[in-house]
């Protein structure tokens, strides 16, 4: 089943909000299990809000301290003593998994991608979707978590800087790794709309949905919850539900081979 990495090239665009809520809606809109991978080892929003009591993390798996099975948890959000999202699993981030200085970084990225590919080949058999929340900044972790994806979902705000940054990143990642964008989500669109900027966002990829600016998102975020958990009928939550529905309509091949990085000669 497809692996979709959520990309936000600028901090604060709401990348983790989209990742958490779309994953939760996917788990409710179908009968199969969904896996949400917290790949943002810097901020760890998914881990802190969806799986705060994790003892074993992705970092532990990458360090060879635990098996992958040990690091996968059912979403720990409950209501009335019952799981809120029984078909949603979470792989928490933990710390960073970069090598110490002096290592060949290109080889490290390629070898780590291969490790991820082997792990995810197993997970594809268990989950209908694997959604990866990537770091906000372009880092080695970001390259690794992008390289394992079958498709990329970009999140932007309705401003020129955010859209331009994402469009340049989308073009660069397509050239470097050959990975297409499944679409773009425009987040925090103000009341009254921003039609021109929403249209400009299609420079990044097909418009998958628009999420309105909604104070209930911030309220739930302050309570360490995704908006679907507290306010499932809110405008933003319903928009994210529609985005999940649009993703389900997409035919995303889940048979990509590991990309061959197009590094310039002499990089190694």
pLDDT at 138: 62
Q: Write out the two tokens for 51.
A: 């799986």
The more confident residue out of 219 and 61 is 219
H/E element, 73: strand 73-74
Q: How far apart are CA 150 and CA 146, in angstroms?
A: 9
**Percent of the chain, pLDDT > 90?**
57
* pLDDT at residue 98 tops 60: no
DSSP code of residue 205? S
Residue among 68, 64, 73 at smallest CA distance from 35: 73
CA distance 176 to 173: 5
Between CA 92 and CA 86 the distance in angstroms is 17
Mean pLDDT value across residues 96-103 = 55
pLDDT at 44: 87
CATH architecture of 3-249: 3-Layer(aba) Sandwich (3.40)
For residues 229-248, give the mean pLDDT: 97
End-to-end CA distance of the chain: 33
pLDDT tens, residue by residue, 110-127: 777 777 778 878 888 899
Give the mean model confidence (pLDDT) for residues 202-229.
Answer: 95
Q: What is the pLDDT of residue 105?
A: 66
């Amino acid at each position: 089943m497809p692996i979709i990495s959520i990309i936000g090239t600028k901090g604060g665009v709401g990348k983790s909000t989209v990742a958490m809520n779309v994953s939760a809606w996917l788990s409710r809109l179908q009968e199969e299990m969904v896996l949400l991978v917290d790949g943002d080892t810097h901020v760890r929003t998914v881990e802190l809000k969806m799986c705060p009591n994790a003892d074993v993390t992705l970092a532990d798996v990458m360090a060879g301290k635990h098996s992958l099975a040990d690091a996968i948890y059912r979403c720990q959000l409950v209501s009335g003593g019952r799981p809120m999202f029984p078909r949603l699993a979470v792989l928490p981030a933990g710390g960073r998994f970069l090598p110490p200085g002096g290592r060949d970084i290109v080889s490290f990225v390629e070898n780590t991608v291969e490790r991820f590919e082997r792990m995810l080949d197993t997970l594809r058999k268990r989950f209908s979707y694997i959604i990866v929340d990537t770091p906000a900044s372009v880092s080695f972790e970001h390259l690794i978590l992008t390289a394992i994806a079958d498709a990329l979902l970009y999140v932007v705000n309705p401003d020129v800087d955010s859209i331009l940054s994402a469009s340049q990143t989308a073009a660069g990642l397509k050239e470097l790794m050959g990975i297409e964008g499944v679409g773009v989500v425009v987040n925090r669109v103000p009341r009254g709309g921003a039609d021109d900027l929403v249209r400009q966002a299609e420079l990044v990829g097909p418009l998958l949905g628009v999420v309105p600016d909604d104070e209930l998102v911030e309220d739930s975020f302050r309570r360490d919850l995704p908006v679907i958990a507290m306010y499932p009928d809110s405008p933003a939550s319903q928009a994210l539900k529609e985005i999940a529905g649009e993703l389900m309509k997409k035919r995303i091949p889940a048979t990509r081979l590991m990309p061959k990085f197009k590094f310039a000669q002499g990089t190694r």
